[in-house]
Amino acid sequence: MSATSLHCSAPAAAENVQDSLLLSQPLILQERQQQQQEEQHRTLRRSASNTTSQVAIVGSNLCPIESLDYEITENVLFKQDWRSREKIQIVQYIFMKWTLCFLIGFFVSLVGFFNNLAVENIAGLKFVITSNMMLARKFMAAFIIFSSSNLALALFASLITAFIAPEAAGSGIPEVKAYLNGVDAPAIFSLRTLFVKIVGSISAVSSSLNIGKAGPMVHTGACIAAILGQGGSKKYGLTWKWIRYFKNDRDRRDFVTCGSAAGIAAAFRAPVGGVLFALEEMASWWKSALLWRAFFTTAVVAIVLRALIDVCLRGECGLFGKGGLIMFDVTSADISYHLWDVPPVILLGVIGGILGSLYNSLLQKVLRIYNLINEKGTVYKILLACSISICTSCLLFGLPWIASCRPCPLDPSEPCPTIGRSGNYKKFQCPPGHYNDLASLFFNTNDDAIKNLFSKNTDAEFHHLSMLIFFVTCFFLSIFSYGIVAPSGLFVPVIVTGASYGRFVGMLVSSHSNLNHGLFAVLGSASLLGGSMRMTVSLCVIILELTNNLLLLPLIMLVLLISKTVADAFDANIYDLIMKSKGLPYLEDHSEPYMRQLTVGDVVTGPLQLFHGVEKVSNIVHVLKTTGHNGFPVVDEPPFSESPVLSGLILRAHLVILLKKKAFVPTPMQMFSNSFNEFLADDFAKKGLGNGDRIEDISLSEEEMNMFVDLHPFTNTSPYSVVETMSLAKALLLFREVGLRHLLVIPKVSGGIPVVGILTRHDFMPAHILNLHPMLLRSITRKRLRFQLPSWSKLL
């Protein structure tokens, strides 16, 4: 069971996953000898002396990280169910689906707005109090207030995260992305997680940690969508009965996609960007109907936010500053750029790409160290969070003292020094008529810092050195802040860091360029985002929606293309790296070159567990208890058919329900008509996430154990199948595109047992395949040589 715990404890370091796969998949090279395998099936299934060591052999399926099932299950019962659906039910279904999308958009926008409002007020209050103390020149007291309030907020966030919902830590984007790929990590969409994610994110962001709120918003959106889609939370008694149509993985997946789109839309007020983000980065399956649904959801977000902001613009939101949710408006009709502005922009893109990949690899390394600390226990987790908070407070308060005071400009576009909450010219320790440029960046919320950096007509505001200090501090602070046990996003820190980097480059080349420093900051953000997150269209649209300036489009496209290309030469997308280090079995949409050389038969492992069409109860119980498989082939043999015939595939969940309902007969016989009276299709509907029954909870008498079950009505009679000689690449295409959980492998030559094995998601994982076929490791030297090829070859 150690394999399981390692595999599923999130986050586990990448090496651990390798180990767990080594443990769970012994290096039995499968020889594709039909007879031998056939022998195995029989002996293993029939013998009652199965030891627990069998469990380890099929270990990869034991992990509580379940995979989702997007296949249309075709058993007799479900077919009846579909036929019995009336027109009115179909209309109800459509209506409910749209209503849910509306509700998702509505709730997500409310949460997004409330989130911003809370952060702006809590952080604003903190800054107003400390600023007032600074004005009274009580510097020490100001520092104590500042750092202790930060510590308290960070402590609160990490406490609730560690004790109530550890799944809420981090950004949540990797988990949601894995879910949309078909990996169901436990408890990521529970009501508990949702609560901690919202409250923890507000508290952590208010504590001036260098973390963002966009990632948590995506997770929040997905959570809201998942909870609404499964009809509320059963655990807390909040359930809606009328959402009975969505008890399947496909509809839930669609809702979660819409929810994550709404999350980005609410975080950045970027509705189109949200849809594109969900499409480009999150979703693994997509169709145009879903595009429209996501668009509808984000439109609701946009309209609700717009109405709520109208309220705030009337000044009824307390300390709601200029940064929160208001666009970083860099509109100016006179932006003009020419051919000679292109080289600096290209340079910005190249360095941005290098910085982005450096950022990813450093973050990955820091996460590994943090994992070692976090594994030691909850106290260590919280101590880590607190120490990061204290360090951050010291840096934010200490570093501005380095900067010399600068005299206010003669015709400032806004009051100098800043009065009240947010502004470009923070006074800090300076004498009247002066401002501290570093404090304007550090001693502010991230949103305000971005606004300052993006602002135009402020080319003289910042000193070279200040900008460099700010950039370096942000770069490292954001890397060290992400891994703590609190909800924390990556978007905003990367935007701040990128903006400071871009503005610094702008200062260096300003004599050779027409572009103002604010535009350089925008392009710098784009380059670092492109280098770290590796999105294209969605980032482009998000930046456009943030800055509200379409004239920048060609330059932003150029920067994104260059920085992504450069960064792809070094390492992968930050979310993929985090996902990999958490051990989530993400199925890529492209196959590795060696998969074309392997056949499906080469990777089918382990003894095959199969059932007869009419099976003894004790056999079923035994197999269910000793293996972790989620699907079993059902085969009819001579008493019931002329030759062995593959009847289909039965799911563990359905078997458990059968056992629970105790629909047994004393002798082995088929009984078609009776079974339907006892079962409704609703019984087989997918339960809420992680709420299915377990075999251990079912107790059966000795007599019952000797009875039989007719599995035929509950068997999916036409599962997708491939011939054993098909290449792995081709089978992966089918598995991935159709969204399967099980793929039956049938023999090339008929006559023997009509099924060779079952492929699951784990069988397609490169680590698993390379373990099975160490001779492919021979080509690892080749792999090392073309270190940069895998990331390139994705583009094929």
Q: Which is nearer to a second copy, 140 or 289 (CB)?
A: 289
Count the residues of the shown chain that bind a second copy, applying the rule CB under 8 A.
87
Q: Is residue 570 classed exposed, middle or buried when 0-12, 13-18 and 19+ CB atoms within 10 A define those classes?
A: middle
583-602: contacts with a second copy (CB under 8 A): 589-590, 596-597
Q: Which is nearer to a second copy, 301 or 707 (CB)?
A: 301
Contact map string, positions 516 to 555, toward a second copy, x by CB under 8 A: --------------------xx--xx--xx--x-xx-xx-
CB of 553 to a second copy, least distance (A): 6
344-383: contacts with a second copy (CB under 8 A): none
Per DSSP, the chain holds a count of helices (H) and strands (E) of 33, 14
Contact map string, positions 93 to 132, toward a second copy, x by CB under 8 A: xx--x-----------------------------------
Q: Which of these segments, 42-50, 134-142, 481-489, 730-738, binds a second copy (CB under 8 A)?
A: 730-738
What's the distance, CA 477 to chain centroid? 22
CB of 266 to a second copy, least distance (A): 13
Distance between first and last Cα of the chain: 39
Q: Which is nearer to a second copy, 277 or 443 (CB)?
A: 277
Q: Which is nearer to a second copy, 66 or 71 (CB)?
A: 71
Using rule CB under 8 A, residue 795 touches a second copy: yes
Candidate list 48, 140, 333, 775; residue touching a second copy; CB under 8 A: 333
- Can you read off the two tokens belonging to residue 663? 């629909």
Q: Which of these segments, 58-66, 298-306, 370-378, 604-612, binds a second copy (CB under 8 A)?
A: 298-306
CB of 588 to a second copy, least distance (A): 10
Q: Which of these segments, 228-236, 521-529, 702-710, 718-726, binds a second copy (CB under 8 A)?
A: 718-726
Candidate list 45, 465, 733, 779; residue touching a second copy; CB under 8 A: 733
CB of 550 to a second copy, least distance (A): 5
- List the beta bridge partners of residue 487: 170
Task: For residues 677 and 669, give the distance between their C-alpha atoms in angstroms, rounded to a whole number.
Answer: 17
Candidate list 5, 89, 514, 793; residue touching a second copy; CB under 8 A: 793
CB of 692 to a second copy, least distance (A): 24
Q: Which is nearer to a second copy, 705 or 729 (CB)?
A: 729
The one-letter amino acid at 445: T
Q: Which of these segments, 127-135, 280-288, 602-610, 659-667, binds a second copy (CB under 8 A)?
A: 280-288
CB of 666 to a second copy, least distance (A): 29
Beta-strand runs (E) in 371-520: 406-407, 434-435
Task: For residues 569 and 788, give the distance between their C-alpha atoms in angstroms, rounded to a whole number.
Answer: 5
Contact (Cβ atoms closer than 8 angstroms) between residue 392 and residue 208: yes
CB of 755 to a second copy, least distance (A): 12
CB of 452 to a second copy, least distance (A): 20
Candidate list 9, 45, 720, 779; residue touching a second copy; CB under 8 A: 720
Taking each helix axis from N to C end, the angle separating 574-581 and 517-533, rounded to the nearest 10 degrees, works out to 30
Contact map string, positions 744 to 763, toward a second copy, x by CB under 8 A: ----xxxx--x---------
Using rule CB under 8 A, residue 778 touches a second copy: no
Taking each helix axis from N to C end, the angle separating 191-206 and 214-229, rounded to the nearest 10 degrees, works out to 160
Neighbours of 513 (CB within 10 A): 21
Using rule CB under 8 A, residue 618 touches a second copy: no
Using rule CB under 8 A, residue 271 touches a second copy: yes
CB of 597 to a second copy, least distance (A): 7
CB of 573 to a second copy, least distance (A): 10
Cα 702 to Cα 616, 621, 623, distances in angstroms: 12, 12, 17
CB of 503 to a second copy, least distance (A): 23
Contact map string, positions 181 to 210, toward a second copy, x by CB under 8 A: ------------------------------
638-697: contacts with a second copy (CB under 8 A): 641-643, 645
CB of 524 to a second copy, least distance (A): 18
The b-or-e profile of 729-767 (16+ CB within 10 A means b, else e) is bebbbebbeebbbbbbbbbeeeeebbbbbbbbbbbbbeb
Candidate list 52, 338, 682, 702; residue touching a second copy; CB under 8 A: 338
Using rule CB under 8 A, residue 515 touches a second copy: no
Q: Which is nearer to a second copy, 148 or 641 (CB)?
A: 641
Task: For residues 500 and 527, give the distance between their C-alpha atoms in angstroms, rounded to a whole number.
Answer: 12
Contact (Cβ atoms closer than 8 angstroms) between residue 215 and residue 170: yes
Candidate list 32, 54, 195, 280; residue touching a second copy; CB under 8 A: 280
Using rule CB under 8 A, residue 339 touches a second copy: yes
H helix or E strand, kind and range, residue 131: helix 87-135
Task: For residues 784 and 777, give the distance between their C-alpha atoms in angstroms, rounded to a whole number.
Answer: 11
Q: What DSSP string describes 747-795?
A: -SS-SS-S--EEE-GGGG-HHHHHHH-HHHHTTHHHHHHTTTHHHHHTT
Cα 203 to Cα 156, 206, 219, 317, distances in angstroms: 7, 5, 16, 18
Q: Which is nearer to a second copy, 310 or 678 (CB)?
A: 310
CB of 347 to a second copy, least distance (A): 16
46-75: contacts with a second copy (CB under 8 A): 71-72, 74
Strand-strand pairing, 614-616 and 611-612: unpaired
238 backbone dihedrals φ, ψ, rounded to 5°: -100, 85
The b-or-e profile of 139-171 (16+ CB within 10 A means b, else e) is eeebbeebbebbbebbbbbbbbbbeebbbbbbb
Task: For residues 385 and 158, give the distance between their C-alpha atoms in angstroms, rounded to a whole number.
Answer: 7
Task: For residues 144 and 129, give the distance between their C-alpha atoms in angstroms, rounded to a whole number.
Answer: 12
Cα 663 to Cα 697, 705, 707, distances in angstroms: 17, 12, 10
CB of 271 to a second copy, least distance (A): 6
Q: Which is nearer to a second copy, 339 or 410 (CB)?
A: 339
Q: Which is nearer to a second copy, 241 or 338 (CB)?
A: 338
CB of 214 to a second copy, least distance (A): 19
CB of 136 to a second copy, least distance (A): 39
H helix or E strand, kind and range, residue 603: helix 600-603
Using rule CB under 8 A, residue 454 touches a second copy: no
Contact (Cβ atoms closer than 8 angstroms) between residue 297 and residue 258: yes
- Can you read off the two tokens belonging to residue 333? 């009709």
Using rule CB under 8 A, residue 83 touches a second copy: yes
